Structure 1
């Protein structure tokens, strides 16, 4: 069994390097031709996985550009697991320094949002906090409650309108324009599908405060500082309806 495990480990290592790790199992001069078949199959699988995990990037740059870039990325950052459903965590950062993408400064941000969508899809299961559950609390209790974000919640804030651009592209619209308005994209999984919504500064600060473990009262104060003219109550109700929260704690100590 040890010999078999050694061979399997060497085989996997060889797929990402040269034939040396397998040398003791091969006759002189053998191995490269056969391994090329496996390497090509794995490379295609990586490119296909990236295309599935970053569909918005693919739609913006086109099939040829994307697959060429994805092949280079897969060569530099091969998967650490045989399961490729989650492959590409480092792809957004890689795109940010990829020379052919320098003329597309928004592309790394779009890839980041695609990645957040994947993370939301595969996040842990958990119930969503409902308005009915909060209705049993007094106003004082609601103020000192620490709201926990649902495990599937992801949000990305940008100084420009990348979230709206991402949503428009995912919807298949052709009128793609990048505004200069700061936006945040909220993603949360409900009933097995990931839902998205573009948020403003008030909701963004409220979510940031909740993620940091602050109380609802502290989160409300932080959100109000972002824009005191925006009423918080309807925005809070919308976040609950989105399923953003997974529960709450009334503990006074963290």
Structure 2
């Protein structure tokens, strides 16, 4: 068995506890191997706790550890650095029987993931806001490119932004009268720090359109279809100010 085969068999034994290869099977039968496996799974669960703090705060340590260990056993890290571990955790929660009483939990987890992705995204140049204003004033129908660190999400059924924000910031609390309706969020990283704010369905649709290469005029029309009565100019100004875009053409 060459080194690559051994490595594959060893990883299979770590994640599944068994191996068809005699050498690896002999190794995995040792008591110390079980300790090694548990240490790896615990490291993955701890990484998930760090990467999904709002979910952890919502459900508590025992519940979270059980879900995180179950996820880790079926999802091997693809990088020794676990700062980005767990991209599939929100979908895992959406399918978990234990989470059915918390239907908003996957949406909250997705915002935690958006934070991680925004934090780790590549650096993009800031938008030339004055140049954009001049181009729009001249009647140009430009295409806006979202910033690499911009992340946005709309959840039609649950107030995920309010729930996530209240559990992401230690000093925040949910409103006493939380309206049970859809909410959206925008995460950006101006000056190297991830920031977030609530946005509506029209702004999310506008950002989707910009990501797809649609010009500002058509993107604004799609935003108005999604959210009638939206002040498109104010919406665009808010997105620009938040740092949602890097360039236009």
Question: Which sections of structure 2, spanning at least 5 residues, go unmatched?
Answer: none
Q: Please tell me whether the aligned partners of residues 54 and 168 of structure 2 are also in contact (alpha carbons under 8 angstroms).
A: yes
SS at match of 2:248: strand
Question: Aligned Cα RMSD in Å?
Answer: 2.3
Displacement of 1:216 in angstroms is 0.8
Q: May I ask how many residue pairs the two structures share in their alignment?
A: 246
Structure with max Cα Rg: 1
Query: How has the CA–CA distance of structure 1 residues 83 and 22 changed in structure 2, closer, same or farther, with 3 Å as cutoff?
Result: farther
- Mapped contact 2:15–2:74 kept (Cα < 8 A): no
- How far the C-alpha of 1:7 sits from its partner, in A, is 3.7
Which residue of structure 1 lines up, in the alignment, with residue 40 of structure 2?
42
Residue aligning to 1:215 = 215
Distance 2:228 2:93 in 1: 38
Say if 2:136 and 2:142, in contact at 8 Å, map to a contact too. no
Report the Cα distance in structure 1 between the residues aligned to 2:27 and 2:59, rounded to whole angstroms: 42
Q: Distance in 2 between matches of 1:202 and 1:91?
A: 27
1:130, 1:240 within 8 Å by CA — same for their partners in 2? no
Normalising by structure 2, report the TM-score.
0.88
1:131-186 CA distances to partner (integer Å, 9 max, x unpaired)?
Answer: 123144253454x1111111111111011311122112212334366523322111
Report SS of the residue matched to 2:83.
coil
* Corresponding residue SS for 2:79: coil
Structure 2 distance, partners of 1:225, 1:18, is 53
Aligned-partner Cα distance in 2 for 1:110–1:233: 29
Give 1:86 deviation, angstroms.
1.0
Offset from partner CA, 1:93-125 (integer Å, 9 cap, x none): 111121121111111111111111111111121
Question: Structure 1 unaligned runs (5+)?
Answer: 250-254
- Choose from 51, 54, 59 the match for 2:52: 54
